[in-house]
């Protein structure tokens, strides 16, 4: 799904001073619960942090990256979009020792100032961050070539492609329910880090399933920060900017006004939660009467008896209905019309952790209930859930009645 760009709205410059000192937080620690409208304001700009922070980005020559991709061979192209193309490549260690490393090399379009802005945004942003749920930038190249200035970025390689690929490409194996929850939890942690874990607040501005990449173990990592923008500083409540993003994911108030807030990312996260539940894209022109996902799911609320209709049929009912309802309610809270009523990403992290725990607990309970009939005729072994749960001494209720 391609990005859109409206030139009609003009951005305003950010203020350079702040009244409140922003505390740096550890993204892996427990977050305090707070609404997305009460986040503290940062004190520094992204450019200032980049200049202050030591980084280990490697500067590549254009020839090195040509060699790494066999001259940007089409057979090695693994992605393409409005920004340019992405190739799978192999680079040698800088000191010449050790085995080559498989990488992803993004070659940005050379069309004018916008391409340079996106390249610079990624270099500056990924040069200062360090988080397990953000893709790692290894280096960059900016060099005059036959076709003008060539701007390239070199990332760690994500072998399991994107969440979008696994949800919507039937050729790939179906993602199990637990894996889907774990992926969304990882993505939420990445967004929470951007919003709340840095000295500068960062608005991702293009959260979508194709930008959630998956490593060898299917851990989620956010990618493509060319549209990322610093959040409001000081007394500002928003950033006024040109409206860019991807249709179907961008928050309605941002499209209408050009006012950008962290709540815009939270809306996009709610859309992807519903994509994960349903296996349907935010906008699907192949469904003439059901093109818009959010309009379709409204017909089957989380509390209704018909809720299961929206669930991805590829899951084959192998999921926790109670946890799925909780995730749908979380998505609805992210999609509140008033931005200030949406949860913060740290709240979203906690809610997803609870949904994952609920799902795991319910699976254990149903394994126990299923084992009861078997154990009438066969002596249970230590691997039987009866042994694990025999001391609980409580009455188990079917999952759909547990809330």
pLDDT in tens, 91-145: 999 888 889 999 999 998 766 556 677 788 788 888 888 899 999 999 999 987 6
Distance CA 46, CA 26 (A): 19
| Biggest CA-to-CA distance, the chain | 78
| pLDDT class of 252 with cuts at 50, 70, 90 | very high
| Fold agreement between 51-156 and 158-403 | no
- Cβ atoms 241, 79 nearer than 8 A: no
- Cβ atoms 35, 344 nearer than 8 A: yes
Distance CA 273, CA 280 (A): 11
Average of per-residue pLDDT across 231-239: 78
Question: CA neighbours within 13 Å on the CB side: how many for 263?
Answer: 27
Could you confirm whether 206 is annotated as catalytic?
Answer: yes
Distance CA 239, CA 13 (A): 8
For residue 45, what pLDDT is reported?
A: 67
For residue 248, pLDDT beyond 60:
yes
For residue 214, what pLDDT is reported?
A: 98
Residue ranges of the binding site for ATP: 106
Stated as kind and residue range, the H or E segment containing 10 is none
Which residue out of 206, 224, 265, 312 is catalytically annotated? 206
Q: Please state, rounded to an integer, the average pLDDT across all residues of the chain.
A: 82
| pLDDT class of 16 with cuts at 50, 70, 90 | very low
Sole residue written with tokens 């390239």: 152
For residue 236, what pLDDT is reported?
A: 75
CATH number of 158-403: 1.10.510.10
Residue ranges of the binding site: 106
Residue boundaries of the structural domains of the chain:
51-156, 158-403
CATH number of 51-156: 3.30.200.20
For residue 265, pLDDT beyond 90:
yes
Average of per-residue pLDDT across 224-247: 83
Q: 174-189 pLDDT, tens per residue? A: 999 999 999 999 999 9
Q: 56-100 pLDDT, tens per residue? A: 789 999 999 999 999 999 999 998 876 789 999 999 998 888 899
Residue from 150, 177, 163, 193 nearest 31 by CA: 193
Burial degree of 148 (CB within 10 A; 0-12, 13-18, 19+):
exposed
For residue 294, pLDDT beyond 60:
yes
Distance CA 93, CA 103 (A): 12
For residue 128, what pLDDT is reported?
A: 81
Where on the phi/psi map is residue 75: left (φ > 0), alpha (ψ -120 to 50), or beta? alpha
For residue 31, pLDDT beyond 60:
no
């Amino acid at each position: 799904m391609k990005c859109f760009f409206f030139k009609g709205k003009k951005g305003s410059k950010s203020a350079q001073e702040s009244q409140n000192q922003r505390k740096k937080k550890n993204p892996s620690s427990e977050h305090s619960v707070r609404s997305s409208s009460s986040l503290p304001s940062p004190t520094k700009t992204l450019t200032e942090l980049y200049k202050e922070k030591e980084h280990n980005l490697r500067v590549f020559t254009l020839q090195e990256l040509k060699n790494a991709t066999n001259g940007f061979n089409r057979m090695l192209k693994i992605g393409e979009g409005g920004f340019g193309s992405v190739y799978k490549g192999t680079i040698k260690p800088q000191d010449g020792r050790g085995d080559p490393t498989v990488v992803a090399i993004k070659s940005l379009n050379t069309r004018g100032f916008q391409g340079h802005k996106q390249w610079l945004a990624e270099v500056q942003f990924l040069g200062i961050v360090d988080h397990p749920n953000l893709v790692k930038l290894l280096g960059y190249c900016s060099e005059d070539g036959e076709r003008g200035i060539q701007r390239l970025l070199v990332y760690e390689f994500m072998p399991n492609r994107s969440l979008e690929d696994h949800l919507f490409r039937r050729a790939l194996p179906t993602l199990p329910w637990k894996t889907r929850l774990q992926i969304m939890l990882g993505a939420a942690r990445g967004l929470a880090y951007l919003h709340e874990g840095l000295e500068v607040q960062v608005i991702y501005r293009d959260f979508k399933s194709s930008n959630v990449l998956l490593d060898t173990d299917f851990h989620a990592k956010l990618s493509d920060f060319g549209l990322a923008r610093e959040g409001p500083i000081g007394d500002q409540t928003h950033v006024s900017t040109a409206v860019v993003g991807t249709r179907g994911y961008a928050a309605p108030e941002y499209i209408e006004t050009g006012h950008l807030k962290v709540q815009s990312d939270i809306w996009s996260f709610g859309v992807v939660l519903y994509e994960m539940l349903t296996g349907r894209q935010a906008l699907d022109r192949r469904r003439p009467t059901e093109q818009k996902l959010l309009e379709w799911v409204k017909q089957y609320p989380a509390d209704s008896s018909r809720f299961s209709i929206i669930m991805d049929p590829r899951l084959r009912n192998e999921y926790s209905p109670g946890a799925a309802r909780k995730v749908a309610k979380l998505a609805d809270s992210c999609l509140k019309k008033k931005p200030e009523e949406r949860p913060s990403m740290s709240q979203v992290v906690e809610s997803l952790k609870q949904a994952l725990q609920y799902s795991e607990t319910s699976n254990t309970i149903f394994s126990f209930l299923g084992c009861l009939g078997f154990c009438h005729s066969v002596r249970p072994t230590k691997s039987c859930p009866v042994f694990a749960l025999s001391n609980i001494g409580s009455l188990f209720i079917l999952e759909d009645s547990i809330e």
